[in-house]
Amino acid sequence: MSTFLLIGSGSAFILLIAGLVVTLRGQRSLIDERLDQYLDESEEELQEMADSADDPSFFTAWINNQVEKTSFGDRMARELARADLKLKTGEYVALMVISSLFMGVFAYFFGGGSLIFATAGLIFGPFIPRFYLRFQQKARLRTFNDQLPDMLNLMVNGLRTGFSSLQAMEVVATELPEPISDEFRRVVQEIQLGVPMGLALENLQRRIPSDDLDLAVTAINIQREVGGNLAEILDTISYTIRERVRIKGEVRAITSQMTYSGRFLALLPIFLGFALWGLNRDYIGQFFLEPRTCGIAMLTLAGLMLIFGYAALNRLSDIEI
């Protein structure tokens, strides 16, 4: 059993390192690479680069073929696009499996060969990439929303000087920082390749689930259909969004103490339990003595109380504006 676990842990660690290397080397998404190939490279070079870019391993290709056929694959592709992670759906699923195996083996040895700890590690392992994905999505969305008023002001100035909507978006893609410049560069590239502007903006909303962006995109689509002064409309929207961002910042500063207090109070019992397990295993091991029903019930009740308390504090600090 120990030999099997050592082999499994070594394999999981090697696969984890390989996945991280592939992720760090992927500087741009596959869509960006293909778009740049059509825009900048010759036809022969395009074919060679496409062949090299689309040469996944057998394991990754098999997972991609299996996952892409399901609704889970579509949902994961959308989530990865929102977080701007340079991973395919199959690679993300493989990372979840590797994380589960690694955490299971780690928990088994940390728990002194306890199968209960190993099972808990196997169950908790897939959530680690999920937590990181959610964190990246929230951070990227917050940065995008903060940059949106500047983007609208830049578009308004361009429209007032005689630029078209596409030319104004090109200025945004050139002048503003990431991530908003990357997103509008994709929009411009899609339009230049023949994608209708409405569909390109819809793809942008798919990657950036922002209510403020939805307001701006709706105004652009309505102006394209019925006409009107788009510069004035976007100027008004920019002022509204800027005020909303300012108020959100003030509310975030006021509620930050409650937010971090809730996180600290929720994680403190977990860290304390691991510390006691490492320092005095016999003391904390009283929960798992025969009969185990009482100890496991107490731990389960404590875990549920932590979850409900953390959810309540988050709910109190989440103020909609």
* pLDDT at residue number 28: 45
- Are 239 and 253 in contact by the 8 Å Cβ rule? The answer is no
Percent pLDDT > 70 in the chain is: 76
pLDDT at 142 over 80: yes
Instruction: Provide mean pLDDT across the span 226-241.
Output: 86
- Are 19 and 95 in contact by the 8 Å Cβ rule? The answer is yes
Q: Which of 75, 46, 36, 48 is nearest to 190 (CA)?
A: 36
DSSP state of 320: -
pLDDT at 51 over 50: no
Distance between CA atoms of residues 283 and 243, nearest Å: 55
What is 139-248's CATH number, 1.10.1760, 1.10.287, 3.40.50, 1.20.81? 1.20.81
pLDDT, tens only, 150-167: 889 998 998 888 888 888
Give Cα separations from 141 to 113, 122, 210, 234 (angstroms): 42, 31, 7, 20
Q: Which residues contact 23 (CB under 8 A, 6 or more apart)?
A: 85, 86, 87
DSSP assignment of 157-207 equals HHHHTT--HHHHHHHHHHHS-TTHHHHHHHHHHHHHTT--HHHHHHHHHHH
Instruction: Provide mean pLDDT across the span 178-190.
Output: 89
- More reliable by pLDDT, 45 or 231: 231
Instruction: Provide mean pLDDT across the span 298-309.
Output: 86
- In the chain, where are the structural domains located? 2-125, 139-248, 255-317
Distance between CA atoms of residues 309 and 269, nearest Å: 13
* pLDDT at residue number 46: 36
* pLDDT at residue number 8: 60
DSSP state of 69: T
- Are 151 and 164 in contact by the 8 Å Cβ rule? The answer is no
* pLDDT at residue number 267: 85
* pLDDT at residue number 321: 65
pLDDT at 53 over 80: no
Token couple for 102: 């690694």
Place of tokens 């500047």: 150
Look over the chain and give the mean of its residue pLDDT values, rounded to a whole number. 77
The region of weakest confidence among 24-33, 166-175, 270-279 is: 24-33
The region of weakest confidence among 28-32, 78-82, 236-240, 255-259 is: 28-32
pLDDT, tens only, 6-20: 566 666 666 656 555
pLDDT at 57 over 70: no
pLDDT at 213 over 80: yes
- What's the whole-model pTM score? 0.66
Confidence of residue 85 (pLDDT cuts 50, 70, 90): confident
Give Cα separations from 32 to 11, 35, 92, 201 (angstroms): 32, 5, 19, 16
Chain length of the chain? 321
Distance between CA atoms of residues 254 and 81, nearest Å: 31
- More reliable by pLDDT, 300 or 39: 300
Residue 39 neighbours by CB distance under 10 Å: 10
* pLDDT at residue number 47: 44
